[in-house]
Amino acid sequence: MSEIHSDNGTAFKGASNELHRIHQMLKTDQGERKQILDWCTENEIAWRFIPPHAPHFGGLWEAAVKSAKHHLLREIGNVHVSYEDMTTLLVQIEICWNSRPLTAIPSDPSDLKALTPGYFLVGTNLQSVPETSLSEVPDNRLSHWQLTQKRVQRIWARWYPEYLQQLQSRALKLIPAVAIEPGCVVVVKDDCLPPTQWPLGRITKVHPSKDGVVRLVTLKTASADSVVRPVVRLALLPVAETQSSRSDPCSDNKNAK
């Protein structure tokens, strides 16, 4: 049986009721929809709600909400923002957060793909149009749109390295710890990337030091077949087969808001 977990929002309640109504309708229909009927009878989606006023029961998704709030408040503070600017800013922050790689997709070893929250929303990765960097331009010289883009870029510049750092620490805390070896998919750190860009690479060769510790590896990326990078500039992606429900590190390691 498939299950969906969420908070007690009215939109989620309505969706749960609608799914149940459709299930009951198809269950009693014996006509041309028999194939749909058979599938729904065996695979009804069960919607599980967390307790009211208990966001810490939400785990991963509530941690992502807390992370977004934290960086948004650090950037905006007490500055007045119009409704339209705030809506645009929140949507673009949502795209950034939902573009983060969760785990490698073990379909074809030659492909460099990662599962992201965007796959659960639209069926593919979320992307945005790269904008010119505005971090050094004074605010009074920017239009509303440019000022919003500058805020998105500043939030991304804070959150992006934090997420990669927690990916690294998460890989070390797994039992057993993730080994650095050929075949592993990694995120390659690049401090100059625009929002929603996550360059991936696959380790093709490791270069152990004299003490046996791997500090240098050779990667295959989307743009080059052989790139040498230090391990400190890489973030290992968890493997789907060993991934637990806690393997999605958001920017904050606490689950409560």
Residue 230, token pair as written in the block: 């230090």
For 146, list phi and psi in degrees, rounded to 5: -65, -40
- Do residues 255 and 245 make contact, with C-beta atoms less than 8 angstroms apart? no
Q: Domain of 16?
A: 3-49
Mark whether 35 and 150 lie in a shared domain: no
pLDDT in tens, 134-183: 988 998 899 989 999 999 999 999 999 999 988 887 766 665 566 788 98
pLDDT (0 to 100) of residue 31: 60
User: Cα–Cα distance between 222 and 67 in angstroms, integer?
Assistant: 30
Q: Which residue has the higher pLDDT, 63 or 1?
A: 63
R_g of the chain, CA atoms, integer Å: 22
Mark whether 141 and 227 lie in a shared domain: yes
Mark whether 71 and 100 lie in a shared domain: yes
pLDDT (0 to 100) of residue 103: 85
Mark whether 197 and 230 lie in a shared domain: yes
Whether 112 maps to a domain, the answer reads yes
Whether 65 maps to a domain, the answer reads yes
pLDDT (0 to 100) of residue 244: 40
Mark whether 210 and 108 lie in a shared domain: yes
Whether 251 maps to a domain, the answer reads no
34 phi-psi bin (left φ>0, alpha ψ -120 to 50, beta other): alpha
User: Cα–Cα distance between 66 and 248 in angstroms, integer?
Assistant: 14
Mark whether 40 and 159 lie in a shared domain: no
Amino acid at position 225, single letter? D
pLDDT (0 to 100) of residue 252: 46
pLDDT (0 to 100) of residue 146: 92
**How much is the average pLDDT of 228-251?**
66
pLDDT (0 to 100) of residue 240: 56
Mark whether 237 and 181 lie in a shared domain: yes
Mark whether 136 and 226 lie in a shared domain: yes
The DSSP bridge partners found for residue 186 are 201, 236
Identify the DSSP state of 100.
Answer: S
Q: Which residue has the higher pLDDT, 249 or 74?
A: 74
Number of domains in the chain: 2
pLDDT in tens, 87-105: 999 999 999 999 999 888 7
- Global pTM exceeds 0.85: no
Name the helix (H) or strand (E) containing 207. strand 200-208
- 3-class DSSP assignment, residue 234: strand
pLDDT in tens, 187-235: 999 888 899 999 999 999 999 888 888 889 999 998 888 999 999 899 9
pLDDT for residue 247 is more than 70: no
User: Cα–Cα distance between 6 and 47 in angstroms, integer?
Assistant: 8
pLDDT (0 to 100) of residue 255: 43
Alpha helices in the chain (DSSP H): 10-27, 34-42, 60-76, 83-98, 117-122, 144-173
Whether 7 maps to a domain, the answer reads yes
CA neighbours closer than 13 Å in the CB half-sphere of residue 238: 26
Whether 249 maps to a domain, the answer reads no
pLDDT (0 to 100) of residue 150: 93
Mark whether 30 and 102 lie in a shared domain: no
User: Cα–Cα distance between 111 and 106 in angstroms, integer?
Assistant: 9
Mark whether 37 and 136 lie in a shared domain: no
Q: Cis peptide leading into 176, omega within 30 of 0?
A: yes
- Do residues 117 and 98 make contact, with C-beta atoms less than 8 angstroms apart? yes
pLDDT in tens, 30-70: 665 677 667 767 777 788 888 888 878 887 788 888 889 99
Q: Which residue has the higher pLDDT, 27 or 151?
A: 151
Mark whether 155 and 83 lie in a shared domain: yes
Largest CA distance in the chain: 72
Residue 197, token pair as written in the block: 């860009």
Domain boundary among 49, 69, 85: 49
Ranking 69-73, 102-106, 126-130, 236-240 by mean pLDDT, the lowest is 236-240
pLDDT (0 to 100) of residue 125: 85
Mark whether 31 and 91 lie in a shared domain: no
What is the SS3 string spanning 134-159? CCCCCHHHCCHHHHHHHHHHHHHHHH
